[in-house]
């Protein structure tokens, strides 16, 4: 197992666990994404959202999930980086900023919302039990390369209940 694979597992575990926290259904998370026409990717998390969410709730959840991967990777590696400037996180940033722009009135407000969401994610994962849950999902991902919702929830919810 190499450093890129480990960082990717933590990154994807961040997306997947935040999706669950926000009430989403994670169809799968994988370290073996399809080789499609887009940019080269190391991981993939596919989430479905319940129909009962308002548009504003959905947009905020999308921001949190999009940013959770990079934030967890930053926390894991203890290497402070600007999410908007890391090439590997470009797709996450594009999704987050597009969602932020859709629910705010100005670029300044969108940037402030992004900053608040980043802080919220850090606060969530500073809780030892939730950090342990992310760790459990990352470890399962490194062991199996692809997890479905039930597997993610099983690994994560053990720590949520503690």
Against a cut of 0.75, is the pTM above it? yes
Q: How far apart are the first and last CA of the chain?
A: 30
Instruction: Report the top-level CATH class of 3-161.
Output: mainly alpha
Cα distances (Å, whole numbers) of residue 55 to 8, 60, 74, 105: 30, 9, 29, 15
Convert the pLDDT of each residue in 111-144 to its tens digit. Answer: 999 999 999 999 999 999 999 999 999 999 999 9
Boundaries of every domain in the chain: 3-161
Convert the pLDDT of each residue in 77-117 to its tens digit. Answer: 999 899 999 999 999 999 999 999 999 999 999 999 999 99
Query: Given pLDDT bands bounded at 50, 70 and 90, which one contains residue 38?
Result: low
Q: What is the distance between the alpha carbons of residues 67 and 53, in angstroms, rounded to a whole number?
A: 19
């Amino acid at each position: 197992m190499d450093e890129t694979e480990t960082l990717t597992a933590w990154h994807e575990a961040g997306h997947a666990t935040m999706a669950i926290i926000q009430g989403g259904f994670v169809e799968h998370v994988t370290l073996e994404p399809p080789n499609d026409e887009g940019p080269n990717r190391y991981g993939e998390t596919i989430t479905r959202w319940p129909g009962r969410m308002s548009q504003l709730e959905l947009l905020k959840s999308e921001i949190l999930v999009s940013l959770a991967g990079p934030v967890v990777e930053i926390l894991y590696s203890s290497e402070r980086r600007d999410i908007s400037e890391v090439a590997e996180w470009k797709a996450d940033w594009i999704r987050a900023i597009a969602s932020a722009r859709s629910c705010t009135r100005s670029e300044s407000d969108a940037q402030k919302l992004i900053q608040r969401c980043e802080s919220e994610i850090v606060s969530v994962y500073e809780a030892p039990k939730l950090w342990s849950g992310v760790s459990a999902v990352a470890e399962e991902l490194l062991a199996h390369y692809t997890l479905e919702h039930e597997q993610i929830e099983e690994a994560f919810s053990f720590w949520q209940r503690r």
